[in-house]
Chains A and B, each alone.
Chain A
Amino acid sequence: MISTAPDEAMSAVTRMGSRLWDSDIGYSFRHSPVAIGAAAVALVLVGSAVFAHWVAPYNPFDLATLNLLDASTPPAWSDKGSVKFLLGTDQQGRDVLSAILYGMRVSLAIGLAAVLLSLVVGVGLGLLSGYIGGRLDAFLMRVCDVMLSFPAILVALLIDGVLRAALPRESHGEVAFVVLVVAIALSGWVQYARTVRGSTLIEKSKEYVQAARVIGVSPLAIMVRHVLPNVLGPVLVLATVHIAAAILTEATLSFLGVGVPPTSPSLGTLINKGNEYLFSGEWWTVIFPGAALVLLVLSVNLLGDWLRDALNPRLR
C-alpha cells in the first residue's frame, strides 16, 4: 500500500509510544498504582481546564449571562439546589463548576509559565556557574544562599509589590500575569541552579568533556550540547514538583489579593472570595475550589514523587 505523510507520522508516534511503554520507566509506571492514579486525576483536571471552553456548562466571565437571582444556590444534591448548577453558584450567580474549570486554567497557565521561566533561568545560571567556575561561581552561589534564606512566598510578594509600584495603575490588569509569572519564577530558580551546578561540576571532569575541549568546541556548545542533556534528569523531577509549588504560590498570592486581577479569577481568588461566606453557611463557594486545588497539587506531587523514584538508579 502507499504510505502517506500522516500515516508515517502516526506510526512514528506509535513507535515512540511503545518504546516508552516498554522501557524501564514505562514498566515502573505500569506497576505503580499511585502513579497511574495520580496521572489519571491530573489528566482529567488538566484536560478539563485546557478544554474548559467546551467542557464547562457556562462561561462564568460573560457578565451578560449572569442572573443575580441565581446567586447562592447550593449544590445540586441539596434541597434548593438545581441540576442547572451542579456545584452551586456564588454570590453573583456564577456557576461554581465553570468558575473552577476556568480558574484552574489560569492557575495552571501561571504555574507552568513560572516553572518554565524558572527552569531557563536556573539551569542557565547553574550551567554557567558550574562550567566557568571561579569568581562567577562564587558570586552566583552567594546570591543563591541569600535567596534561599527568604521564604519563597516572601520573595514573590516582594517582587510583585515592587513591580506593581513601579508600573502605572491602569496597566495593572494587563501586566498582572507577567508580573506574577516573573515573581514566582524568580523565587524558585535557586534549586535548579544549585542542582545543575553540582551535576555540571561532576560532568566537567569527565573524559568526553575534556575531549570536546581538546578538539576546540566552544564552551557554549559544550555546555549546551554535551553537559546539559546529562544534567537534566534530576532537574525534570524538581520541575514536576515545582509545578505544584508554583500553583500553590500563585493561589496564595491571589488569596492575599495581590495575584491575578479579579476579572479572570484563579483558584486562589475563588477561595478568597468564598472564604467570606464560609461562616454564614455557604460552604460550596470555598470548599469546591479548595478541593480542586488540593487534588491538582496532590496529583502533580505524586507524579513527581514517582518520577524521582523511577529515575533514581539506586532504587532500580
Chain B
Amino acid sequence: MLRSPLTQLLLALALSLIAAVTLPMSGAAAATFRFANQGDALSMDPHSLNESLQLSVTANIYEPLVGRGKKLELIPLRATSWQATAATVWRFNLRRGVTFHDGTPFTADDVIFSYHRAQGDGSDVKTYVQEISEIRKIDEHTIDIVTRAPFPILPDVISLWYIMSKSWCERNKATVPVDRRKGIENTASFEANGTGPFRLRAREPSVKTTLVRNLNYWDKTIPTNIEEAIFTPIGNASTRVAALLSGEIDMMEPVPVQDIPRLASAPGLKVLQAPELRTIFLGMDQKRDELLYSNVKGKNPFKDKRVRQAFYQAIDVNAIQKVVMRGAATPSALMIAPGIKGFAEDLNKRLPFDPEASKKLLTDAGYPEGFEVGMNCPNDRYVADEEICKAVVAMLARVGVNVNLAAETKGTYFPKILRRDTSFYMLGWTPGTYDAHNPLNALMSTPDDKSGRGQFNLGAYSNPKVDALTVQIASETEPAKRMALIHEAMQIHEDDIGHIPLHQQALAWAMKSNVDTVQMADNFMFLKWTVVK
C-alpha cells in the first residue's frame, strides 16, 4: 500500500532510531544534577578555607575520619571505629579496601600527612587539629591520635578535617595548603583526589565545577542516583531565582528572603526551611592602638567598652529580623545557637535597643559628635549580608557614628579580614563541632598564630580568663562541670561585649519538587543523600 519496500524499511529504521534515543531519557531520570549558590567554593583544597560552602562542596570529594549523619550524629567514614585507650590517646581503626580516585590505596600514611598539612602554614583548618600533638602509625590501617591534654570531644572536632592523598599531593606539589591570605595557589585548588562518592571532573573558578560519580566508592548503600553534578555560583539574587523557575538549575540556595513565599507556592518547586546553627555577628578591632580605618587618631575607640556597648544598643535587631530578614532570623545575644552544646537560655538576653543610651555612652566615652569608621562586609556569603550591613550603617548614623561601608565578594573579603586588615566587620559562624568549645577557642580566645587558637578572632578580643576557661573546658570530662565552665566563659565574653551578636539566620533551600535531599542544620548539602526522582 505504501511506496516501495525500501521506503518502508527506511521509515521503520527512522522510527526505531527515534524511539531508541527518546525512551531511555524518559526512564533513566537523573543523570545530571545542577545546583547553584550565591557564591563559589573558592578552592578545591579542603584545608585552604574554613568556610561552610567550600567544605560542603569538597565533602563530596574528600572525607574525614569521622563524619556527620543526617541528624548530625557522628558516623564512621575513613575510620571504622575509635576509642580512647588512655587519657590523651585515641585508637582509630581505618577502613580497609578504600582507594583514592586515582586508584592508590588509602593508608595511615595519608592520615598522618593530612594532619601535618592541616596544621601547617597556610592551613585555615588548624582549629580542628589544634588539640592533637601527634599521630602515631601502628600499622597500615591503625593509628593512635595523641592529644595535648585530655580532650573528650576529639571525634566531634575532626569531622571537618578531610584526608588527602600523600602521594598525590607530593606528585602535584600540593603538600602545603593554598594560602588564601597570601593568594598563593597550587594544583589542589583546581584538581582533587579524594575518597568520596564523587570525583572532580572539571573546575572553572567562579564559573562552573563539575563532579562525577565515583563508582568505586566503598559505601554501596548510599541512595543517590546522580551521575554528574554541576555547581555554578550565581551571585545576582533575581538571576538565581529565574534560573530555578526556568528549570535551568535543579536546586539553589540561599533563597533571597523576599522570594521565599513566591517560590514556595510555585508549581513544581519546593522550599526547605529550617533554623540554621549559624550565628551572624559583628566584630571590632580591639587590639590596635589606632584603628586602621577611622578618623580617630591616637586612640582606638573600640578599646572602650562604652563604645562597644553604644554600638550594640544602637542596633535594632528586631527591625532587622522583621524587615531585612523578613522573619527568617532569630535574634541572639550569644555567639552560639540553641542547638549547640553549651547554649544557655538565661544568658540569651540582649541589651535593649536604645539609641538615646547609645548617644550618652558615646558622649561619656569622649565622642559627643560620634566618629567615622570603616566597615567591611561580604555581599555573597550570608543571607542578606549586605542588606544587614546597610541597615546597621543607617542605625549607627542615627547616633552620630559615620560608617563607610565596603561590601565585596567573599573572594576578596575573606583574605582581607583573615589578615586582620579591618576595623569593623561582619562574620558568621557555625561551630563545626556543635559544641561551644569551638567558638570559644576560634572566636573568643586571644589569637596565637602558631597553634591556631583564635584564628577567627579577627578583632583580637582578649580576656585571659576566657582563655584559661577554654583550655579547662577542652579537657574537662565531667559533663555538668564542663557546662558550668562554658557558662562562665560565655558570661564573661557577653559582659565584655567582645563581639556584637546579631541573630541566627534561617536556611532556605529551593529545589524542584522531584529532588529529595537532606537539609543539614549546618547548611551542608551532601550529594550522596540527594535523589532525583
A93 vs B238: C-alpha distance in the bound complex, in angstroms?
Answer: 21
Q: Are A279 and B323 in contact (CB under 8 A)?
A: no
Q: Does A277 contact B (CB under 8 A)?
A: yes
* Chain A min CB distance to B185 (Å): 21
Contacts of B390 in A (CB 8 A): 92
A63 vs B237: C-alpha distance in the bound complex, in angstroms?
Answer: 25
With A68-B319, A68-B324, A69-B319 known to touch, is A276 a contact of B237 (CB < 8 Å)? Answer: yes
Contacts of B323 in A (CB 8 A): 68-69, 71-72, 91
With A68-B324, A72-B323 known to touch, is A279 a contact of B394 (CB < 8 Å)? Answer: no
Q: Are A68 and B391 in contact (CB under 8 A)?
A: yes
Q: Are A68 and B387 in contact (CB under 8 A)?
A: no
Q: Does B259 contact A (CB under 8 A)?
A: yes
Contact bitstring B258-270, A, C-beta under 8 A = 1, else 0: 1101100000000
Q: Are B238 and A92 in contact (CB under 8 A)?
A: no
Q: Are B394 and A66 in contact (CB under 8 A)?
A: yes
Q: Are A279 and B238 in contact (CB under 8 A)?
A: yes
Contacts of B324 in A (CB 8 A): 68, 71, 91
A72 vs B323: C-alpha distance in the bound complex, in angstroms?
Answer: 8
**Interface members, chain A 46-72 (any B CB < 8 Å):** 62-64, 66, 68-69, 71-72
**Interface members, chain A 182-223 (any B CB < 8 Å):** none
Contacts of A281 in B (CB 8 A): 262
- A62, A63, A93: the one within 8 Å of B393 (CB): A63
Q: Does B340 contact A (CB under 8 A)?
A: no
Q: Does A275 contact B (CB under 8 A)?
A: yes
Q: Are B259 and A280 in contact (CB under 8 A)?
A: yes
Q: Are A277 and B258 in contact (CB under 8 A)?
A: yes
Q: Does A160 contact B (CB under 8 A)?
A: no
* Chain A min CB distance to B439 (Å): 28
Q: Does A278 contact B (CB under 8 A)?
A: yes
Max count, chain A CB within 10 A of own CB: residue among B316, B387, B394, B395: B394
Q: Does B236 contact A (CB under 8 A)?
A: yes
Max count, chain A CB within 10 A of own CB: residue among B320, B391, B393: B391
Q: Are A91 and B387 in contact (CB under 8 A)?
A: yes
Chain B interface (Cβ within 8 Å of chain A)? 236-238, 241-242, 256, 258-259, 261-262, 316, 319-320, 322-324, 387, 390-391, 393-395, 397-398, 400
Q: Are A92 and B237 in contact (CB under 8 A)?
A: no
Contacts of A277 in B (CB 8 A): 258
Contacts of A69 in B (CB 8 A): 319, 322-323
Contacts of B241 in A (CB 8 A): 279
Q: Are B256 and A276 in contact (CB under 8 A)?
A: yes
Contacts of B259 in A (CB 8 A): 279-280
Q: Does A282 contact B (CB under 8 A)?
A: yes
Contacts of B394 in A (CB 8 A): 63-64, 66, 68, 92-93
A72 vs B387: C-alpha distance in the bound complex, in angstroms?
Answer: 13
**Interface members, chain A 89-129 (any B CB < 8 Å):** 91-93
A-B contact pairs, 17 of them (CB 8 A): A63-B393, A63-B394, A64-B394, A64-B400, A68-B316, A68-B320, A69-B319, A69-B323, A72-B323, A276-B236, A276-B237, A276-B238, A278-B238, A279-B238, A279-B241, A280-B261, A280-B262
A91 vs B259: C-alpha distance in the bound complex, in angstroms?
Answer: 14
A276 vs B242: C-alpha distance in the bound complex, in angstroms?
Answer: 11
Contacts of A72 in B (CB 8 A): 323
A279 vs B395: C-alpha distance in the bound complex, in angstroms?
Answer: 28
* Chain A min CB distance to B3 (Å): 54
A93 vs B387: C-alpha distance in the bound complex, in angstroms?
Answer: 12
* Chain A min CB distance to B236 (Å): 7
Contacts of B237 in A (CB 8 A): 276
Contacts of A278 in B (CB 8 A): 238
Contacts of B319 in A (CB 8 A): 68-69
Max count, chain A CB within 10 A of own CB: residue among B241, B256, B259, B323: B323
A78 vs B105: C-alpha distance in the bound complex, in angstroms?
Answer: 68
A273 vs B506: C-alpha distance in the bound complex, in angstroms?
Answer: 23
Contact bitstring A159-173, B, C-beta under 8 A = 1, else 0: 000000000000000
Q: Are B258 and A64 in contact (CB under 8 A)?
A: no
Select from chain A the residue with minimum beta-carbon distance to B400: A64
